[in-house]
Structure 1
């Protein structure tokens, strides 16, 4: 996948889709998609979005939430990924890596993620040939897997990649695994979801087979037509997260292996994954996807909120465990 800055530079004047920031909502060990009802879940997650987030989430999430950490005020969806930790090379203790703002987000965004809903790609207005159907209440999905443990398997997860940031605008080449050297601007992660739906199931036992990815090489490139098994074109959903690894660079000895691990004790980057639970109010996302010439502006139909308001949205600590500071083991893990 080419970097965002390159993608935008190459884009034609017509750009369709949404790009907006969501501040961090909470960091705790819950996963209502993969482990519904479990408190705590197996590993720590970084969550953004609406305040309906809980250990168990069913039905219309958007109807229950009363606030959101996202700039788009009608988006009460929840978006989450595993959390990145630094493992001290000397004593083996762990420290959570903070999340910082991505480039070009609304002023006041605190950490969080950049969220994309694109209709086709950055350069093609293809609404006539591929009409976009918004996700439905109760819809959920995941991408990637913490059990992915080989390079070949990781390469098969198209659009799940890393960048070693030189600055927030200079991302450098994409990688399938963690960077092998300290990054001056932090570690950038991207999670690109499939966009073809079977048209029937709001979820599936593996949380993935109800969706299909026609993109074979590059997450932000043209998406070929959906197959007959998954005929419904939905928005292409993507998360971007910037992990501020810079405070740990001085503790990474020259020539030593990568010291960063995912919260599921993923010592390679292959197991990167993400979860999504739809929660837009009413037909707000569909109205945006019906537009053909919009990008940052809410597509002319979605009300934005200032991030000082978004940042007031919170959920309680439902697990009650320490996830930050120097820890002798990862939460939920004993190694």
Structure 2
């Protein structure tokens, strides 16, 4: 029998290995104001994003479903060299007491990687140690979105409670999770978790809102191992982003707002944290993802003989921003003209 370690609720748990759970790092590709999924063709897009994955030509600011992501990418920032998917989120900023903003860098979870995020593909939620569900890999041209950029209250974010924050005490902290920004300093940074739906309608590669072609299990929770609803009968891998924002340099309370409120804000102005969201465009080469999901393996999946690359090659695959603007220095407003919104 094979075994693996599941990090669940901050504890290491030994469990029998049934099927696949992929966990890998992607270095930073580019940070800029482009969003070919939600704002196709708009240069610049409404707010700043951090993007990882395949080096698709982001200068065109659009991704047609018939585009061959692996074929049009020369490299990828992900450790699996057959993964030319694109993964992106908004960018976190710190708002100082004097009202100016500074971009918060991302911290890699592996030594030597440049920023980026950690990506999971699972047959069941991370909490399920058996990983027993049979899943179908996404088809070419597939894309999806999770979250609500307009959410500013707990009531508005209720349907997206799978997108959370963890105030990290150390590198292994995974709980507790909250739906809004942490209210105190976090010794090892702030981790966001973004869990995408696991049930597909089996027909549409996308939908107008980039969400309705997807669903969570019919029990309505991302943790559930329940069946997919009849409207969305095809179970696909659970995609999870872990992004660690290196907030340590901003932990001096003397720089925080005088009323003691938390100082972090998303690049589109949300200072509550409720508008946490993420984008995904599938781009694995040929049947590489299906092969991995069908093979009993964990993390690096040696049994499936995946093609991997060095961290140096991951870091080398980066792009210069298309949009020429100051996103890193101390600025008086967020790129795109946003200010912090607390409600």
TM-score using structure 1 length: 0.92
Superposition deviation, residue 60 in structure 1:
2.1
List aligned pairs for 1:135-284, cutoff 5 A: 135-214=138-217, 219=222, 221-250=223-252, 251-252=255-256, 256-284=260-288
Aligned partner of residue 114 in structure 2, secondary structure: coil
Matched-pair contact (CA < 8 Å) for 2:94–2:263: yes
Matched-pair contact (CA < 8 Å) for 1:166–1:172: no
Between 137-146 and 207-216, report the one with greater CA deviation: 207-216
CA distance in 1, matches of 2:99, 2:10: 40
Aligned partner of residue 80 in structure 1, secondary structure: strand
> In the alignment, which of 74, 77, 97 is matched to residue 82 of structure 2?
74
Superposition deviation, residue 96 in structure 1:
0.2
Match of 2:107 in 1: 100
Match of 2:129 in 1: 123
Between 245-254 and 77-86, report the one with greater CA deviation: 245-254
Superposition deviation, residue 252 in structure 1:
2.4
Matched-pair contact (CA < 8 Å) for 1:49–1:70: yes
CA distance in 2, matches of 1:36, 1:174: 33
Specify whether residues 11 and 34 from structure 1 end up closer, same or farther in structure 2 by C-alpha distance, changes over 3 A only.
farther
CA distance in 1, matches of 2:136, 2:123: 10
Superposition deviation, residue 295 in structure 1:
3.2
Superposition deviation, residue 148 in structure 1:
1.1
Matched-pair contact (CA < 8 Å) for 1:18–1:299: no
CA distance in 2, matches of 1:13, 1:252: 47
CA distance in 2, matches of 1:215, 1:309: 42
Superposition deviation, residue 66 in structure 1:
1.2
Deviating beyond 6 angstroms after TM superposition, the runs of 4 or more aligned structure 1 residues are none
Match of 2:92 in 1: 84
CA distance in 1, matches of 2:33, 2:338: 15
Match of 2:72 in 1: 64
Aligned partner of residue 173 in structure 1, secondary structure: coil
Superposition deviation, residue 222 in structure 1:
4.3
Specify whether residues 334 and 165 from structure 1 end up closer, same or farther in structure 2 by C-alpha distance, changes over 3 A only.
closer
Aligned partner of residue 15 in structure 2, secondary structure: coil
Is 2:325 the counterpart of 1:317?
no
Query: Unaligned regions of 5+ residues in structure 1, if any?
Result: none
Aligned partner of residue 288 in structure 1, secondary structure: helix
Specify whether residues 8 and 115 from structure 1 end up closer, same or farther in structure 2 by C-alpha distance, changes over 3 A only.
farther
Superposition deviation, residue 332 in structure 1:
0.3
> In the alignment, which of 8, 15, 31 is matched to residue 12 of structure 1?
15
TM-score using structure 2 length: 0.90
CA RMSD of aligned residues (A): 1.9
CA distance in 2, matches of 1:35, 1:92: 28
CA distance in 1, matches of 2:193, 2:57: 22
Match of 2:117 in 1: 113
CA distance in 2, matches of 1:62, 1:239: 21
Aligned partner of residue 160 in structure 2, secondary structure: coil
Query: Unaligned regions of 5+ residues in structure 2, if any?
Result: 1-5
Q: How many residues align?
A: 325
Matched-pair contact (CA < 8 Å) for 1:284–1:301: no
Deviation string for 1:176-227 (max 9, x for gaps)?
Answer: 10001111111110100001000111000000000001286874x4431111
CA distance in 2, matches of 1:332, 1:266: 13
Aligned partner of residue 27 in structure 1, secondary structure: strand
CA distance in 2, matches of 1:155, 1:173: 17
